[in-house]
Amino acid sequence: MHRLALLLLASAPALYSHAISMSNGEVTVRGDRLDFVLTMPMYEAAHTPHPETAFLDHFRFGDGRLVQKSCHEDSAKATYVCMAEYAFPKPLEQLDVECTLYQVTVPNHVHLLRAERNGKHDQAVFDYSFTHATLRFRPPTVFETAVQQGFEGILRAVAGPVQFLLLAALVLAARSWRELVVLGSTFLAGEIAVALLAGRLNWQPPVRFVEAAMALSIAYLAVEILFLPDAGGRPFIAAVLGGFHGLSLYLLLFAGDFRPVYVLSGAVVAEIGVLAFLSVIRQKWMFTRLVQSTAGVLLVFGMTWFALRLRN
């Protein structure tokens, strides 16, 4: 359990970054020219020194040469937009792209790039684990789609410290292996249901709302562990917690052409693995005061994160 407590303390820097950090790019290829439009959330641009150069400096389009660029803030949409044109030695048949935006934003940043050439489309997703892609402007095979999007689901579910904290809260709240199975099942059910329902409603919740709700859910679960040890409503709380995490996955589904079955399957597999790993760590200290002390750290983390998200 002391390892779990150390994990919570080590996650403190996540209070000042965003658990959900995404940007979008649009590429249009015109012979030997390429037009690129980058759309970045304003909350990322506000914390980035010299965003007018920093963002585009973290993109490489093959042997393309930057011809012109311009950046501006779109206050109506709370975004920072950069437009650039690149020139190539010859017309493009395929496009090699390198994106390292995670180096200038936050480690869990995701960039979704869509590209079009002569009416044919392709897309790629970049993060700290995938920084290179080749766009061939052909439809991917079913296997390629399943592997790529399933892995994205895995990364979005467990890539950041906040995602680990959500699952750690469930493990701390479980008073037995049987209850852990129940809490894990209701968490996953809530996550899947909300991700699919939000898609049907075509609802895009504000990132700040999703993160604040996730923080408050973590804090409430910690309150139950500390002050309501015999409470019987934890499965319901787990489902609500899963629902808020499902909103964070839906934001990924909403941003790109993703198949929910692939993304959510990857997320579920990863989360079951992490729950099993954390439960093994906890088992030896199941009924010691370390559970309460770790829950106290979790409560402080959740409330502080909630307050920061209300302010920022």
**Do 11 and 31 fall within a single domain?**
no
**Do 172 and 117 fall within a single domain?**
no
Last residue of a domain, one of 76, 111, 140: 140
Last residue of a domain, one of 140, 171, 197: 140
Mean pLDDT over 37-50 rounds to 87
Burial of 76 (C-beta count, 10 Å sphere; 0-12/13-18/19+)? exposed
Residue 153 is assigned to a structural domain of this protein = no
Mean pLDDT over 3-12 rounds to 45
Of these ranges, 3-17, 104-118, 157-171, 263-277, the one predicted with the greatest mean pLDDT is 263-277
Structurally, the chain folds into a number of domains equal to 2
**Do 164 and 306 fall within a single domain?**
yes
With a cut of 80, say whether residue 288 has pLDDT above it. Answer: no
pLDDT for res 100: 95
Contacts of 257 by beta carbon, 8 Å cutoff, 6+ apart: 114, 123
The residue that leads in pLDDT, 284 or 207, is: 207
**Do 188 and 299 fall within a single domain?**
yes
Return mean pLDDT, the chain: 82
**Do 120 and 36 fall within a single domain?**
yes
**Do 261 and 127 fall within a single domain?**
no
d(CA 299, CA 219): 5
Residue 152 is assigned to a structural domain of this protein = no
pLDDT for res 96: 96
**Do 222 and 288 fall within a single domain?**
yes
Tell me which DSSP letter residue 139 carries.
P
Task: Tell me what percent of the residues of the chain surpass a pLDDT of 70.
Answer: 87
With a cut of 80, say whether residue 281 has pLDDT above it. Answer: no
Residue 148 is assigned to a structural domain of this protein = no
Contacts of 207 by beta carbon, 8 Å cutoff, 6+ apart: 18, 20, 41, 43, 251
d(CA 54, CA 105): 10
Mean pLDDT over 281-300 rounds to 67
Residue 279 is assigned to a structural domain of this protein = yes
**Do 186 and 296 fall within a single domain?**
yes
Residue 145 is assigned to a structural domain of this protein = no
Residue 129 is assigned to a structural domain of this protein = yes
Q: Which tens digits make up the pLDDT trace of 72-127? A: 999 888 899 999 999 999 999 999 999 999 899 877 788 989 999 998 988 888 88
Q: Which tens digits make up the pLDDT trace of 176-219? A: 888 889 999 999 999 999 999 987 887 777 777 777 777 777 78
d(CA 210, CA 127): 21
pTM over 0.75: no
Mean pLDDT over 52-58 rounds to 94
d(CA 234, CA 216): 15
Domain that holds residue 216: 2-15+160-311
pLDDT for res 312: 59
**Do 9 and 42 fall within a single domain?**
no
**Do 185 and 80 fall within a single domain?**
no
Mean pLDDT over 257-280 rounds to 89
With a cut of 90, say whether residue 38 has pLDDT above it. Answer: yes
**Do 46 and 87 fall within a single domain?**
yes
pLDDT for res 60: 96
Q: Which long-range contacts (CB under 8 A, 24 or more apart) does 176-183 make?
A: 177/279, 179/234, 180/275, 180/279, 182/235, 182/238, 183/234, 183/235, 183/238
pLDDT for res 57: 95
**Do 299 and 167 fall within a single domain?**
yes
